[in-house]
Amino acid sequence: MAETKTATLTLDGKTYELPVLSPTSGPDVLDIRKLYSQAGVFTYDPGFTSTASCDSTITYIDGDKGELQHRGYPIDQLASQSHYLEVCYLLLYGELPTKAELEKFETTITRHTMIHEQMHYFFRGFRRDSHPMATMVGVVGAMSAFYHDSTDVNDPRQREIASHRLIAKMPTIAAMAYKYSIGQPFVYPRNDLDYAANFIHMCFAVPAEEYKVDPILARAMDRIFTLHADHEQNASTSTVRLASSSGANPFACIAAGIACLWGPAHGGANQACLEMLKEIGTVDRIPEFIARAKDKNDPFRLMGFGHRVYKNMDPRATVMKESADEVLELLGVENNPLLQVAKELEKIALSDPYFIEKKLFPNVDFYSGIILEAMGFPTSMFTPIFALSRTVGWISQWKEQLGDPQMKIGRPRQLYLGEGLRDYTPIDER
C-alpha cells in the first residue's frame, strides 16, 4: 500500500499525524493502527460504515457506480463468459487458469464431492422439518471431526486441501439437507456432470428413474453460483475472518459464516424477498407495501432492496434479472405472477422519492429467489444455495488473511457507557 500523504488530528491541544494509505481503486484509508498508543483514544464506528477491516486483493466494489470486480474482472463479463469453477480458481489463486490448470482444478473438485459415509448419520439427528441452513451449520462444523488431515491452518497444503474439500462438498451437503427435509433418499454426486448440473441432479433426481438435467437450467444455476461467489468484507465474510483470526479450523470458520449469512438482512433476504412477493400477491397491493416500507413506525422493509455499499443498482441484480427472464421463458412461466409483481415493484420503487433519496435499489437477492422458485426449489433452499456459492469467497478471504504475516487476532474495543465502579451490596441490603 502506498503511503502518499498524512492527515493531522488535533486533540486536547496535541497534534497527531495519521498516515493516509492509497488503494488501487476506491477511497483513501486513514491508518489508525497507532492511534490508541499515541493519543489514548479509540475510534467509534458500530456497523463499520467507515472502517476498512483489512487490506485485500480479491474483490473490489464501487457502491456509487454499481461496479463489482473479482481480481479486476467485471462481474458481468465473468457471468457471461466464464463459469463458476473458473471463477473459483480466479478467486483462490488470483489469475484466470490456463486450460491445463482449469482441467486439473475441475478434476480435483469433482473427485472431492462425496462426504464421509459416516456423516450421513449427522442428518438423521435433525428433525425432518429443520431449516436446511440449521443442518448446514451443523454438518459443515462437524467436518472438522472427520477431516483432521486438513485442519492445521499453519500448513499451506492442508489449507489448500480444506479449500478444495469445502468447495467440492458444499453442494453435496446442501442437496442432502434438502433431500432429508422432504424425506427422499440422498442422491450421490456424479463425476460425469459439471458442478451446477451435479447439484441440480442431487436435489431433484430419485433412485426410481433417470433424471436428465436441463442444460439451460444448469447454466442458470452456474450463473447464480458465480453472482454470489464473493463480495468483499460483507457480514459473513467478516465473520469468517474474525473466526479465523483466532486460529480456528477452516470448517469451524465456514460454519460461522453460514450462521451469519442466514440473517434476513444478509443472505436470508432471498427467502424473505420471495415470501414478501407472495404476501403482496398482486400488483394492486404494491402501494400498500411501499407505504409500509416508508413508515418509520413499521419495521417492515422491502426485502431485496437497499445495500450497505451499493447506492446504485447492484450489478448482480442486473444480470440476475436477465437470467430470470430466460429461465421463466424456458419453463413457459414468463407470466409468473411473482415475476410480474417483482417487475412492477421495482418500477414503482425506483420512481418513488423515498427510494430515490435513500438510494435504495434492488440487490442480488431481489431476482434470485424468483429463478430458484421457478426451478423448483422451496424458499428454505434459497439461502443454502447462497451459502454454497459464497463458500469460495469465504475460503479465499480466509486463505488471504492466513497468508498475511501481519495477521493478529481481531479484538475490537468499545465505548463503555455502563455503571461506574461500585461495591457489592449484600442481598438483605438491596
Question: 298 an active-site residue?
Answer: no
Residue 58 or 269: the one with the smaller Cβ distance to ligand SDX is 269
Q: Which residue is nearest to ligand SDX (CB)?
A: 306
Residue 194 or 365 having the CB closest to ligand SDX: 365
Closest separation between CB of residue 250 and ligand SDX, Å? 19
Shortest Å distance, C-beta 265 to ligand SDX: 4
User: Considering the complex, what minimum distance in angstroms separates the CB of residue 157 from ligand SDX?
Assistant: 29
Catalytic residue among 266, 365, 423, 428: 365
Q: Which is nearer to ligand SDX, 70 or 201 (CB)?
A: 70
Cell numbers describing residue 32: 489508525
What is the C-alpha to C-alpha distance for residues 232 and 30, in angstroms, rounded to an integer?
19
Burial 254-292 (b: 16+ CB within 10 A, else e): bbbbbbbbbebebbbbbbbbbebbeebeeeeebeebbee
- Point out the catalytic residue in the list 70, 228, 231, 307: 307
CB of 48 to ligand SDX, least distance (A): 10
Closest distance of CB 333 from ligand SDX, Å: 24
Distance CA 410, CA 31 (A): 16
CA distances from 94 to 87, 261, 302, 400 (A): 10, 25, 36, 10
Give catalytic status of residue 307 as yes or no. Answer: yes
| Residues contributing to the site for ligand SDX (CB under 6 A) | 231, 234, 265-267, 269, 293, 301-309, 358, 360, 363-365
Q: In 300-332, which positions are buried (b, 16+ CB within 10 angstroms) versus exposed (e)? A: ebbbbbbbebbbebbbbbbbbbebbeebbeebe
Which is nearer to ligand SDX, 234 or 396 (by Cβ)? 234
Which is nearer to ligand SDX, 194 or 346 (by Cβ)? 346
Question: Strand, helix or coil at 16?
Answer: strand
Residue 148, CA distances (Å) to 114, 141, 143, 207, 260 in order: 16, 12, 9, 32, 25
The Cα–Cα gap between 309 and 332 comes to 36
Give the residue numbers marked as catalytic.
Answer: 307, 365
